[in-house]
Each structure stands twice: as structure tokens, then as C-alpha cells.
Amino acid sequence: MTKFLIISKNNNLLCEISECFDEHELEHSTYIYSNAEETFNFIKENEFASILIDDDIENYDILSKKIKSIENNDIFITLIYNPNSIDSFSNDFSGFIDNFIQKPICKNILNSTLNSYIKTKKNIDKYKEDNKELSRSLYQLDVLYNTSSKLSGNLDKEKLYEIMFETLEKTLSFDLASALIYAQNYDKSENKLIIHSLKKPENSLLEIIKEKIISIAKENNSADADFSKVLLEEHIKPSYQNQNLDTKLLNYDKLAAPIKIKDKTYATLLIYRNKPFSKEDVVCFQTIVHQISSPLRAITLYNEIKNTNIELKKLERIKSEFVSIVSHELRTPLAPINNSLDIVLSDNISDTTRHFANMAKRNVSRLSGIIEDLLDLSRIETGKFDFKYKKYNIKTSLDTISKTFENQIKEKEMVLKTHFEDHLPDIYADPKRIEQILSNLVTNAIKFTPKGGKIEISTKIINNNEINKGTLIAPIENFATCNFNETFINISIKDTGIGIKEEDINKIFDKFSQIENSLTRNAGGVGLGLTITKHFIDSHLGGIWVESKENEGSNFNVVIPVYSDIKAFEIDLNASKKINETTNLLTLKASNKESSGNFIKQLKEENIIKLTKNSKEIEYLENDMYIYKIYFPNLQKSAFDFMTNRIENSLKEGEYGIVLEKATYKKESEDYSLGM
């Protein structure tokens, strides 16, 4: 309430006015004037909002002026004046007077003045309060807005709760906030009670809060949740650590809510505040609870998917290893069976025995083909396929393949046409695997072309931009992401067979996939040939696509980069560069300081590697060895293997005394796995 002061020399006047103030229950003091200085000091020491000054005191004008000059205090001044002296007011002085009351005091006028004052004051107070609420709401809105941007994209659960408590503190100024976080399967976390408090809560209080929040949690859909074990995490403001918070807190105003989306509850919140919560506070609290539930759900889903992926990868690895072991076991007896059949066939045997022995031999060879495919696939999937790349001419492989299939083609009364360019450029490849690619494609062409059909194998040199990237099946990754190379040898294997429906073209490259038709059933096979082919091509940084029409035939096109045109890999020697999920690392260790430098210079000259602009050559001495680290961020493993192989081959050619170590960074296990 505003404090009034009435100053006069006249005690009767003071009493008269004072009575009026009493009637209106207005807090006031009276002051009998003796001298200006004392009066002014008294005013300064006490905080008055309104002063009534009698004009019978000397220099009341100077006093009023001085009162108005008190800093940060706009005191309302009323002059109790004698109308006969009104003429003596100077304009200058009247500016310091806010109101006038005439003498002698008319009680009715004073009363009505005070009434109107009280009304105005009430309105002003209400306006001030509303204004305060408004600015508080604006502040809460601002904090909530900022919280939204902090929460979005955050995948760290702990950080999320931290932001939530920070927002609760900023918007609702709680005395204590508690959150019961439920145990989650995906990260094997346990129930946790997080307490944020200004003062240290006493143990008895903590126990009660724990019980309360658990009972709220159970009411909210989690009746069957097991809260027998709850870890406690306390956060107390350092400045209040020596002060305790006792059970009086339980009498404070409180707000509670579960953090949930649909049926899944993640946590329960309970906060206490000495000052009662307003309607706006409740809305703000609900907004915060709502704000946090979406990112929490995102985190849970993200982690569940991540865990499932890890599990799937584990299963895939186990399956590949199992296939590999079983295939090895199956392969072992095939060689002696084959040898025994050879012995039987070399003997003088009846036609019937020969017929069946030959049939057995064909089936042994078919079985060993399937086993070899299974072994290849498991090696590819476990990243253990060892390619023996070298610079060579594909013409040799094309000739070998044409010869190999001569008999089969004749047997099926088919025609084989070949058109190989005279001077095919060299490629950098593993000849055995290139032959396997060609063999798979020619076998299929024969299998899926009826008797009397035609097969054409041809080559041509093409540019990168002549490849219709939209129709590419392989690359699995490399062609799309790296696409280093400009010139390719294009090998086309074209048949006049049954063809493939457009919608089936992508399917045929999937593991174990076969398109149902009469020829597939007769032809055998398990649907692995094209899967393996696709992987081999990818490992050679090449590509494959198919043009086909049902009942007209298919044309399988393979492209392999030309050796002299293989682009240098951009590498990064800046060891401080952030490692990401697909970072590969090569380490060169040399006993001689110049070796690594010379070697890298040679790799650059041979156009095998090219340093990026911001590369920094990192060289340091460790156990008497000079270490060079080269990082390959965002390079697919098969491209990395291809490039490492080129570096290894260069290393073999010169006498550098360098040891090369290859590693791929795996985010899941958070370490480097050495792969050499």
C-alpha cells in the first residue's frame, strides 16, 4: 500500500487530515515541520509515495523541488494551499506540484479526492500485475521456443532431460523438480529418479518424493511397472548446497504429469513451488511435457532400429560363417567322389554303368558349382574376398571364355558370334574374377535361350557420359559415389532367349532370386550367379545394366574402367580430420625418414593418389619408425580395397622398406579393425 506523509506546522490541520486517512485505512505519517533540512532528510530516509505539504511552511516551493529531484522516486506532491496566496505561485514552481487541496480543509472534498485516488491506484496496480503476467508469459514463450530448437534433432537422452530441467527452471522457477525416468530395453537402462533442487533435500523428504512420484507413475498406465529398484541422481545449486529442504516442501503447490506418447510412458514429472502456479504456468508445464515426448520417442525408435540393425548384422555374419563352414565340409568329399568316378569311367564298363557314372559326374560338377558360389558369397559378405588385381588385357579372358563354351553352344545347336576390338586397352582387374563374371553371364545366356538361338559377345570403348546411369544395376555403391573414371571397356553379352520382364530386371540381381519359368526349372542353379557378378563388378569400380524384352532376348552390359584412365583417389593426410562412419585409414611405417615421402611422391606421379587441397602430411616418429597416416573419408570399402591394392602393387615394385597397414573405421564397435 502507498505510504503518505503530511507535513505542516499546524498540529490541528495534521490531526484533521490524519482522521480522514484513518477512515480510508490509508497508511500515513504526520510530520511537524521545524526546518527544511531535517524534513528533507526524514523524507529521504523513509520511502513515501505521496506527500501533502502545507503552504504555511517556509520555502515549501524549494522543498517540493528537492523532493521531486530524489532519484528513482517520483513522489506525488499535493499542496495544501491558502487561496489568498495563490497569486504568489510562480509558473516554474507549479510544475513540481501534482495536486492541490484548498484550506480550510473541506472534509467532503478530501474524502472524494482520497476515494478517487484509491480507485486509480487499484486500477494501476491491476494493470501493473497484468503487465507482469504478460511479460512473464512472453518470457515463457521465448524459452519454450528456444527449447524446441534445442530439442529438435537431439538424439542424446541425457541431454534431452537436461534441457527439460533447464526449461522448467527458467519458465516455472521451481523449488524442486523431480523426474522418474523409466527403464528402457533398448539401452538396458534402469529406473532413475532425477532431482533438481535449489536446496539440499533431506533424506526423509527424498523418500516421500520417491514414493509419491512412483504412485503417480503407477496411476498413469504403468501399474505393472517394476519400480523396486530406482537409481537416484541429485542436482543441487552450488550456492544453496549448505541449506536443507525439509518436508515443508510438501505443502507447496505442485504439478505432475507423465511424459508419454500413445501407450508408451517414458517418465513422470513432479515439481514443487512455494509460490502457487498460475493457469499460464500449468499450460507452460503441459507444453514442456509435450515438447519433450516427441524427441524422446524419436530417440527410442532410433535406438531400437539401431539395435535391430546390429542384431541383424550379427545374424548375417553368423549365417555367412555357417554357410562358409558347411560349404567347406560339403566340398571336401566332392574331390574324392569325382576322382572315383573318373577311375570307374576309365575302366571297361557297360554302357548303362557309363551312362549313370557320367550323370553322377555332371551332378558332382553342378554341386561343386553351387558350393563355390555359396563360398564366394560368404567371402563377399564378410569382406574377406581377396582380389588379385593386376594390369592386364581383357582380350585373353574373352578368348578363354569363347573357347570354354564352344562345346555347350554346339550341343544346343546355337550360334556364338564374337566381336572384340583389335587393340583393347589394359584394365586393372583380377583376371580370374573377370572370367567368372563373363562365365556367369554366358552360362545364363545359354541357359535361357532355347535351342537354335544366337549369342553375341562384343566389346567397345565408351565414355562415362555414354552410360545411362538410371539403368545401372551394379554399382552397389562405388559407381554412384565415386564415379572417378572416364573411359570404360563395355562388354555386351546378347542372347535371343526368353528375355526378362521389365519389373523383374532389378530382382534378378538379388540373392537366391530366380524368375519362375520353364527354363529356370530345367536349368538348375540357385540364383546366386548375378549376385556374385554384381559384387565382383562393383569391386572393380565398374557397372552393369540389362536391356531385355520378353520372348526376344536380353543384352547384359558390363563396363570396367580402362587402366590408363583410372582417376587418382583424392586422399586426406590431415589426421585431425573428423572420422566418420566410412572412414578408412592407411598407415605407412618406414624406418627411413625419406622413404614415405618418396613413396607418396611416386604414387602422386603415377596418378594413383591425389592430395586434397587442405591435406597436411602427418609424419611422426614412434618406436623408431616414421609413421604416415592417410585418411580416406567417405570411401566405400570395395573402392578402398581397390585403391590399396594399387598402392601395394606400387610398393612391391620399389625398394622402399615400408610396411603398409590398412584399417576401416567401424562406428558400431568404436574402433579400427586391422584388415591386412
State which of residues 249, 467, 498, 585 lies at the interface with ligand ADP (CB under 6 A). 498
DSSP state of 572: B
Parallel, antiparallel or unpaired: strands 176-181 and 192-197:
antiparallel
Decide: helix, strand or coil at residue 193.
strand
Q: Which of residues 215-254 bind ligand ADP (CB under 6 A)?
A: none
642 in Cβ contact with 389 (< 8 Å) = yes
Q: Which of residues 585-614 bind ligand ADP (CB under 6 A)?
A: none
CA neighbor of 8 nearest in space, from 40, 34, 33: 33
Decide: helix, strand or coil at residue 249.
helix
Q: Which helix (H) or strand (E) holds 631?
A: strand 625-632
Decide: helix, strand or coil at residue 436.
helix
Parallel, antiparallel or unpaired: strands 50-54 and 4-8:
parallel
The verdict on 448 binding ligand ADP (CB under 6 A) reads yes
Q: How far is CA 486 from the centre of its chain?
A: 35
Round to whole Å and give the CA distance between 644 and 634: 15
Q: How far is the CB of 437 from ligand ADP (least distance, A)?
A: 11
Round to whole Å and give the CA distance between 163 and 143: 11
The verdict on 497 binding ligand ADP (CB under 6 A) reads yes
For the chain, how are helix, strand and coil distributed in percent, rounded to 5?
A: 50, 25, 30
| Phi and psi torsions of 436, nearest 5° | -65, -40
Query: Measured from the CB atom, is 283 or 519 closer to ligand ADP?
Result: 519
Query: Measured from the CB atom, is 525 or 675 closer to ligand ADP?
Result: 525
The verdict on 495 binding ligand ADP (CB under 6 A) reads yes
Number of residues forming the site for ligand ADP (CB under 6 A): 22
Query: Measured from the CB atom, is 373 or 430 closer to ligand ADP?
Result: 373
Query: Measured from the CB atom, is 515 or 568 closer to ligand ADP?
Result: 515
The verdict on 375 binding ligand ADP (CB under 6 A) reads no
Give me the DSSP letters along 274-340. SSPP-HHHHHHHHHHHHHHHHHHHHHHHHHHHHHHHHHHHHHHHHHHHHHHHHHHHHHHHHHHHHHH
Round to whole Å and give the CA distance between 476 and 584: 18
Query: Measured from the CB atom, is 63 or 445 closer to ligand ADP?
Result: 445
Point out which span in 317-325, 390-398, 491-499, 661-669 binds ligand ADP (CB under 6 A).
491-499
Q: How far is the CB of 553 from ligand ADP (least distance, A)?
A: 7
Q: Which of residues 174-213 bind ligand ADP (CB under 6 A)?
A: none
DSSP state of 474: B
**Residues sharing a CB contact under 8 Å with residue 5, sequence separation 6 or more, in sequence order:** 28, 29, 30, 31, 43, 46, 48, 50, 51, 52
The verdict on 520 binding ligand ADP (CB under 6 A) reads yes
Q: How far is the CB of 430 from ligand ADP (least distance, A)?
A: 20
Contact letters for ligand ADP, residues 534-573 (x by CB under 6 A): --------------------x-------------------
Parallel, antiparallel or unpaired: strands 176-181 and 553-561:
unpaired
Round to whole Å and give the CA distance between 274 and 270: 14
Q: Which helix (H) or strand (E) holds 269?
A: strand 264-273
Q: How far is the CB of 420 from ligand ADP (least distance, A)?
A: 20
Point out which span in 164-172, 262-270, 374-382, 438-446 binds ligand ADP (CB under 6 A).
438-446
The verdict on 453 binding ligand ADP (CB under 6 A) reads no
446's grid cell: 545359354
| Phi and psi torsions of 629, nearest 5° | -115, 130
Query: Measured from the CB atom, is 95 or 452 closer to ligand ADP?
Result: 452
Query: Measured from the CB atom, is 226 or 552 closer to ligand ADP?
Result: 552
As to burial, measured by CB atoms within 10 angstroms (0-12 exposed, 13-18 middle, 19+ buried), residue 42 is middle
Q: How far is the CB of 549 from ligand ADP (least distance, A)?
A: 10
Rg (Cα) of the chain, in Å, rounded? 45
Round to whole Å and give the CA distance between 67 and 87: 23
State which of residues 444, 459, 595, 664 lies at the interface with ligand ADP (CB under 6 A). 444
Q: Which of residues 83-112 bind ligand ADP (CB under 6 A)?
A: none
The verdict on 431 binding ligand ADP (CB under 6 A) reads no
Point out which span in 43-51, 439-447, 452-460, 604-612 binds ligand ADP (CB under 6 A).
439-447
State which of residues 500, 559, 560, 608 lies at the interface with ligand ADP (CB under 6 A). 500
State which of residues 508, 537, 544, 609 lies at the interface with ligand ADP (CB under 6 A). 508
What single-letter amino acid sits at 227? F
Point out which span in 240-248, 414-422, 496-504, 636-644 binds ligand ADP (CB under 6 A).
496-504
Q: How far is the CB of 408 from ligand ADP (least distance, A)?
A: 14
Round to whole Å and give the CA distance between 189 and 555: 56
Round to whole Å and give the CA distance between 676 and 661: 6
Point out which span in 157-165, 228-236, 519-527, 649-657 binds ligand ADP (CB under 6 A).
519-527
Point out which span in 404-412, 431-439, 440-448, 631-639 binds ligand ADP (CB under 6 A).
440-448
Point out which span in 116-124, 215-223, 329-337, 490-498 binds ligand ADP (CB under 6 A).
490-498
Q: How far is the CB of 533 from ligand ADP (least distance, A)?
A: 7
Round to whole Å and give the CA distance between 463 and 443: 28
Q: How far is the CB of 530 from ligand ADP (least distance, A)?
A: 3
State which of residues 171, 378, 514, 664 lies at the interface with ligand ADP (CB under 6 A). 514
Q: How far is the CB of 654 from ligand ADP (least distance, A)?
A: 42
The verdict on 530 binding ligand ADP (CB under 6 A) reads yes
Q: In the complex, which residues of this chain contact ligand ADP (CB under 6 A)? A: 440, 444-445, 448, 495, 497-500, 508, 513-515, 520, 525-531, 554
